[in-house]
């Protein structure tokens, strides 16, 4: 990998504390399940992106390190454990995501709502970002998350239109745009993210930005795709930091309120800044 893709190995007192609490409370994080390169930085800052509904996904996307296996039964005690962990860590802002649960009739929407409400009950001063699946763009399911009123609702477009069928197993480009539009109509901050380096062209990237802005998206994250496993999609190109700066400028010129654009950016990177979008 190029020099600019290097990150520090995770260590430190706060890192150890977060790791211990996550293990003790039987919680999952996308930091671990997604093999995130920023885990050391974020955990040392006392933050983590929690992953609910287990660590086994019903989808098999070609970019994702999360296991594609038959999911475990829903653990309805998890929302309380998560809320208590957030309180113990004293987090001012938390990010919650999940695996896809297409095995459940509601895709896990009711569990999502219960989790958000429990976190708010025990942590009334903590702001919440949720990074949700597409729920097959069924409005009534997305609405359950909206009704729980997190501060930010994110749903990642992941890539440009042409590459979507190649790397996303079930999700569809226009379906994701509909989810973003539902969020935007609710008045909650809508957010999305795109991975670069999978073979997209600059013109296709600008088209994706236009599509997201047209759907009402206000916060955009752009980062370099890294191959987390030999069996997953290979990196086609390492995008330079200079090109990421160009994309940042293009995104702001289109009216996005916050843009995180650099090689190591992931969808929850600096998420606490996006609440005010």
In this structure, the strands spanning 219-224 and 67-68 are: unpaired
CATH code for the domain in which residue 176 is found = 3.20.20.70
Q: Are 148 and 113 in contact (CB under 8 A)?
A: yes
Range of the domain at 42: 3-276
Round to whole Å and give the CA distance between 190 and 186: 9
In this structure, the strands spanning 56-57 and 49-52 are: unpaired
> What is the total count of domains within the chain?
1
Round to whole Å and give the CA distance between 34 and 193: 15
Q: Are 97 and 29 in contact (CB under 8 A)?
A: no
pLDDT at 1: 81
pLDDT at 33: 47
| DSSP secondary structure string for all residues of the chain | --GGG--PPP-SHHHHHHHHHHHHTT-EEHHHHTT-TTHHHHHHTT--EEEES-SEES---TT--SEESPPPPP-TTHHHHHHHHHHHHT-SEEEEEE---TTSTTTTHHHHHHHHHHHHHH-TT-EEEEE---GGG-HHHHHHHHHT--SEEE---BS-TTTHHHH-SS--HHHHHHHHHHHHHHTSEEEEEEEE-SS--HHHHHHHHHHHHHHT--EEEEEE----STTSPPP-----HHHHHHHHHHHHHTT-SEEEESTT--TTTTGGGGGG-
pLDDT at 92: 86
Q: Which of 139, 132, 155 is nearest to 52 (CA)?
A: 132
pLDDT at 207: 98
pLDDT tens-digit readout, 88-107:
888 888 999 999 999 999 99
pLDDT tens-digit readout, 168-203:
999 999 999 999 999 999 999 999 999 999 999 999
pLDDT at 5: 82
- In this structure, how many other beta carbons lie within 10 angstroms of the beta carbon of residue 70? 7
Q: Are 129 and 86 in contact (CB under 8 A)?
A: no
The segments of the chain whose pLDDT lies below 50 read 33
What's the Cα-to-Cα distance from 272 to each of 37, 45, 151, 152, rounded to whole Å?
A: 18, 12, 10, 10
pLDDT at 65: 85
Q: Are 247 and 222 in contact (CB under 8 A)?
A: yes
Q: What is the mean pLDDT of the chain?
A: 90
């Amino acid at each position: 990998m190029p020099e600019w893709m290097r990150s520090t190995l995770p260590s430190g007192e706060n890192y150890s504390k977060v790791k211990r609490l996550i293990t003790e409370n039987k919680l999952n994080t996308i930091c671990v399940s997604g093999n995130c390169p920023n885990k050391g930085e974020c955990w040392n800052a006392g933050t983590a992106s929690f992953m609910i509904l287990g660590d086994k996904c019903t989808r098999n996307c070609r970019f994702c390190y999360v296991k594609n296996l038959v999911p475990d039964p829903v653990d309805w005690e998890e929302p309380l454990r998560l809320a208590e962990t957030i309180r113990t860590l004293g987090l001012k802002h938390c990010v919650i995501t999940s695996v896809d649960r297409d095995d459940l009739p509601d895709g896990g929407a009711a569990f999502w709502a219960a989790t958000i409400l429990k976190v708010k009950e025990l942590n009334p001063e903590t702001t919440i970002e949720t990074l949700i699946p597409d729920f097959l763009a069924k409005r009534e399911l997305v609405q359950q998350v909206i009704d729980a009123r997190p501060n930010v609702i994110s749903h990642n477009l992941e890539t440009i239109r042409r590459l979507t069928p190649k790397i996303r197993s079930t999700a569809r480009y226009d379906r994701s745009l509909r989810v973003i539009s539902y969020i935007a109509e609710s008045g909650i901050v809508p957010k999305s993210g795109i991975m670069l380096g999978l073979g997209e062209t600059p013109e296709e990237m600008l088209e994706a930005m236009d599509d997201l802005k047209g759907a009402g998206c206000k916060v955009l994250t752009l980062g370099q795709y890294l191959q987390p496993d030999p069996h997953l999609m290979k990196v086609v190109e390492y995008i330079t930091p200079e090109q990421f700066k160009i994309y940042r400028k293009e995104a702001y010129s289109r009216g996005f309120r916050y843009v995180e654009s650099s090689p190591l950016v992931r969808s929850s990177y600096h998420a606490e800044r996006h609440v005010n979008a």
